[in-house]
């Protein structure tokens, strides 16, 4: 979606036009959902956070000043929702229990599943900000600058998070490959 | 292959095309949140209004205003209250309030008619 068209839709949405807001949701849902799926690991929870983030974005659209892209703004809101829910703790525990149940059966039969679980475990061990930086930038959806805006961190910190986090994930994948052989 | 895209794909893929269901869910959530906010606003207004009404009398007594001396003030208050109620009904329309009262009256009269009918049949 071009910048001019997006600004026009934002203007309409601010006046209460739900159709215009629906088009903005369509334009940005892929990026926001992908970010949260990589961050959280559970597609259903991730989509839940994404929907909450879009609904909240509708409420605070007047506060959006246009200095960053709308996608960045919504991802920032989504990250706050995710962080709050994570601190509540219940989801994480449930997911870890589920992985513990899966690890004995799935890892031996499907090397791709083994890689996925190894990556997910490695992600779980990373600090929140590092994990979010990776979730934003790994799929090349966001630039480092955009990730810094989403996470409200200095650019240098984001770059260092990505370098260190990537190394941890690659190490985890190496371990998974050895287990698969 | 352990490049970034491969790792991103393993961690979670983006939906390939915009999902209309997702959009509908978002809009439903927006509407639900707006309803919840409106209900909360109404509740706060009611709490504040009834608190003020409840606080007026003790304050008046504390300042030595007796029931007899306060009668003109209360009369003016009551008139203003009725006037504002009338104004609100005129502006917003009487439908919700009156419809509820009419439905209640209809239900009561129907119940009475049924009772009367049963009594006649029994006789």
What is the DSSP annotation of A152-166? T--HHHHHHHHHHHH
How does residue B1 score in pLDDT terms, banded at 50, 70 and 90?
Answer: very low
Distant-in-sequence, close-in-space partners of A164: CB < 8 Å, separation ≥ 6: A130
Among chain B residues, the shortest Cα distance to A31 is held by B14
A46 CB within 8 Å of a chain B CB: yes
Q: Which of A41, A55, A140 sits opposite B12 (nearest CB)?
A: A41
Q: How far is CA B113 from CA A175, B103, B109, B119, B121, in A?
A: 82, 15, 6, 10, 12
Is A59–B33 a contact, with Cβ atoms under 8 angstroms apart? yes
CA nearest neighbour of A112 among B41, B77, B11:
B11
Encode pLDDT of A43-92 as tens digits: 888 899 999 999 999 998 888 888 888 899 999 999 998 888 887 766 55
Give the distance from residue A126's alpha carbon to the nearest chain B alpha carbon, in angstroms: 14
A115 CB within 8 Å of a chain B CB: yes
Assess contact for A119 and A165: CB atoms under 8 A.
no
Q: Is the pLDDT of residue B9 over 90?
A: no
CA nearest neighbour of A91 among A101, A100, A82, A79:
A82
Q: What integer is the mean pLDDT of B62-67? A: 80
| Predicted ipTM beyond 0.90 | no
- 10 Å CB burial of residue B95 (0-12, 13-18, 19+) is exposed
Assess contact for A23 and A29: CB atoms under 8 A.
no
Encode pLDDT of A120-130 as tens digits: 888 888 888 89
Rounded to the nearest 5°, which phi and psi values hold at A65? -95, -5
Is B4–A166 a contact, with Cβ atoms under 8 angstroms apart? yes
Q: Is the pLDDT of residue B111 over 90?
A: no
Distance from C-alpha of A172 to C-alpha of B11, rounded to nearest angstrom: 12
Distance from C-alpha of B3 to C-alpha of A177, rounded to nearest angstrom: 14
Among chain A residues, the shortest Cα distance to B19 is held by A26
Distance from C-alpha of A29 to C-alpha of B23, rounded to nearest angstrom: 8
Q: What DSSP designation does B80 have?
A: H
Size of interface A-B (CB pairs under 8 A): 96
Is A139–B5 a contact, with Cβ atoms under 8 angstroms apart? yes
What pTM was computed for the model?
0.67
Place of tokens 């007047």: A62
Would you state the pLDDT for residue B116? 72
Among chain A residues, the shortest Cα distance to B14 is held by A34
How does residue B79 score in pLDDT terms, banded at 50, 70 and 90?
Answer: very high
Would you state the pLDDT for residue A4? 82
Encode pLDDT of A130-144 as tens digits: 999 988 888 777 899
Is B18–A30 a contact, with Cβ atoms under 8 angstroms apart? yes
Q: What is the mean pLDDT of chain A?
A: 83
Q: What integer is the mean pLDDT of A106-124? A: 76
Is B4–A174 a contact, with Cβ atoms under 8 angstroms apart? no
Percent of chain B with pLDDT over 90: 23
CA B105 to chain centre: 21
Q: At what angle do helices A43-59 and B20-62 cross, to 10 degrees?
A: 50
Distance from C-alpha of A38 to C-alpha of B5, rounded to nearest angstrom: 12
A173 CB within 8 Å of a chain B CB: yes
CA nearest neighbour of A42 among A120, A127, A104:
A120
């Amino acid at each position: 979606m071009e910048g001019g068209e997006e600004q026009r839709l934002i203007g309409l949405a601010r006046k209460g036009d739900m159709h215009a807001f629906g088009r903005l949701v369509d334009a940005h849902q892929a990026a926001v959902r992908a970010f949260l799926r990589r961050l959280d690991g559970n597609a259903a929870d991730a989509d839940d956070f994404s929907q909450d983030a879009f609904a909240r974005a509708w409420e605070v659209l007047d506060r959006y000043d246009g200095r960053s892209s709308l996608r960045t703004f919504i991802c920032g809101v989504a990250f706050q929702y995710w962080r709050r829910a994570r601190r509540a703790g219940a989801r994480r525990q449930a997911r870890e229990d589920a992985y513990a149940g899966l690890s004995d059966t799935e890892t031996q039969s499907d090397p791709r599943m083994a890689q996925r679980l190894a990556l997910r475990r490695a992600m779980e061990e990373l600090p929140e900000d590092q994990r979010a930086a990776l979730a934003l930038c790994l799929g090349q959806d966001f630039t480092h600058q955009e990730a810094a805006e989403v996470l409200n961190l200095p650019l240098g910190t984001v770059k260092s998070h990505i370098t260190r986090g990537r190394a941890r994930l690659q190490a985890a994948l190496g371990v998974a490959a050895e287990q698969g052989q | 292959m352990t490049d970034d895209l491969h790792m991103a794909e393993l961690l979670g893929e983006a939906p390939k095309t915009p999902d209309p269901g997702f959009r509908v869910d978002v809009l439903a959530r927006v509407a639900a949140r707006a309803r919840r906010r409106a209900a909360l606003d109404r509740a706060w207004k009611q709490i504040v209004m009834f608190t003020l009404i409840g606080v007026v009398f003790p304050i008046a007594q504390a300042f030595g205003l007796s029931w007899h001396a306060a009668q003109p003030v209360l009369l003016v208050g009551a008139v203003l209250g009725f006037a504002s109620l009338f104004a609100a009904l005129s502006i917003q329309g009487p439908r919700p309030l009156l419809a509820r009262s009419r439905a209640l009256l209809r239900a009561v009269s129907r119940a009475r008619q049924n009772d009367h009918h049963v009594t006649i049949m029994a006789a």
